[in-house]
Amino acid sequence: MQVLSSQNRAATKQNHTQGKLIVLTGPSGVGKGTLMRTLLQRHPELYYSVSATTRQPRPGEVDGKHYHFIDRNKFEQLVARGEFLEWAEFAGNYYGTPRQAVLNQINSGKSVVLEIELSGARQIRKSFPSAKSIFILPPSLAELEKRIRGRGQDPEDAIARRLHRANEEIQAANEFDIQIINDDFETALNSIETALDNFDTCQDS
């Protein structure tokens, strides 16, 4: 982690205007992607970090926009080259945040939002103590399952893995700076907007 921190500093030390680094986490199906899409439409000044993943694209997902879809071999090469700020295995696939793109944006003064799962959020907290984190909670587990099924894009075994993981993730919600329940969509979105306004800029990128 110390190596990571010094790389981060070296990559950004020439510029004094730092953006904010914001981590958005919550169980699969809670509505993170939907919240993010609306947030980005309303706030084009934010930079959404497009992750790499080994998961298969869902119908309608576009390479380079929703994810960089790559195979496991390529992902492991990128890990070995230190090209991810954080990465994790989730429900049988790898996911990772491209390091340089995020550091460049923060360095140029743009605020960056990472929509990542729990272990990635923990890695970011260690590397960037001034990053701010938001955990999105469902109104209930029954509603969460309904949303995952309603999305209609995950096979049955993936749904089971995601629900199992959801229980673990929800128990960690208190580790995050703030918790927001995504019951009424507009209310949840407004709470995220207020939190983003109040967060400090990133001091350790």
123 forms part of the interface with ligand ADP (CB under 6 A): no
- For ligand 5GP, give the closer residue by CB, 13 or 58: 58
Pick from 57, 82, 92, 150: which binds ligand ADP (CB under 6 A)? Answer: 150
Residue 70 · residue 49 · CB < 8 Å: no
Determine the Cα–Cα distance for residues 96 and 84; give it in Å rounded to an integer.
Answer: 6
> Tokens 């329940």 sit at which residue?
181
- For ligand 5GP, give the closer residue by CB, 17 or 153: 153
Determine the Cα–Cα distance for residues 148 and 158; give it in Å rounded to an integer.
Answer: 10
Q: Could you tell me where the beta strands, DSSP code E, fall in the chain?
A: 21-25, 47-48, 52-53, 68-69, 84-90, 93-98, 112-115, 132-137, 178-181
138 forms part of the interface with ligand 5GP (CB under 6 A): no
- For ligand 5GP, give the closer residue by CB, 16 or 81: 81
Closest approach of Cβ 143 to ligand ADP, in Å?
Answer: 8
32 forms part of the interface with ligand ADP (CB under 6 A): yes
Instruction: Provide CB contacts within 8 A for 26, sequence distance 6+.
Output: 32, 135, 136, 137, 138, 169, 182
**Footprint of ligand 5GP on 85-124 (CB under 6 A):** 86-88, 90, 95-97, 115-117, 120
- For ligand 5GP, give the closer residue by CB, 110 or 165: 165
Tell whether the torsion through CA atoms of 26, 29, 33 and 35 is positive or negative.
Answer: negative
200 forms part of the interface with ligand ADP (CB under 6 A): no
192 forms part of the interface with ligand 5GP (CB under 6 A): no
**Interface contacts to ligand ADP, rule CB under 6 A:** 26, 28-34, 147, 150-151, 182, 185
